[in-house]
Amino acid sequence: MLHSVKIANIASKKLIMNENSLDRSSTDNLLALNIDKDTWIYTYGSSKLQQVRSFGYECNDRYLQERLKAEYPGFRINRASVSKKLDFPPLYAIKESLKWNDAYVAKQYSHGEVIAIDNYLGKYQIIKKTTKPWYLIYKNILTIDENDPKEVAFYIMLIIIITSPIVGIIILK
């Protein structure tokens, strides 16, 4: 039973990745290579990073920044408290998390729902803020509380202001 659930999860990940036509072929090669810091810097790092490293400096922060940007675009190192996996995340966040291997939806106090991946380079948690679909952002704007007379009056005035130029043009014709 557990094996069939894992197979279903893998199949759903592949389906969603195909639906979104996610082109990660260039970053998959980077992720597949379990290479040390110096090899990565001299193979994929910027010329500035390579130059500074050649003078014997550690360059940990810059290396981490460049590697994260190359392998997981849009993610950042979670320097706050560790994000905990959500018990019941929204569907849009689940779909977004399926784009990445070993990712899950977590909650952070300051960022809301985030996509989190643990043990990046063996010790970091990386996160990416989820993006709400536009129809969920505007859902609260488009709903009117009929029991609140101030809100009803506001929307009536808004409708009058928007439609009055249109009505004026129609009358003048």
109 burial class (0-12, 13-18, 19+ CB within 10 angstroms)?
exposed
Whether the per-residue pLDDT at 14 is higher than 70: the answer is: no
User: Taking the alpha carbons of 32, 38, 43, 46 in that order, is the dihedral positive or negative?
Assistant: positive
Between 6-15, 31-40, 107-116, the lowest mean confidence (pLDDT) is in 6-15
- What is the β-pairing status of strands 124-129 and 76-77? antiparallel
Residue 150 vs residue 53, higher pLDDT: 53
Q: Which is higher by pLDDT, 10 or 167? A: 167
Position 11 scores a pLDDT of 43
Instruction: Give the per-residue pLDDT at 17.
Output: 40
Record the pTM: 0.60
Q: Is a pLDDT exceeding 60 seen at residue 53?
A: yes
- Per-residue pLDDT tens for 61-80? 999 999 999 999 999 999 88
**Measuring CA to CA, which residue among 134, 122, 130 is closest to residue 74?**
130
Q: Where exactly are the structural domains of the chain?
A: 143-172
Q: pLDDT tens digit string along 101-121?
A: 999 999 887 778 899 999 999
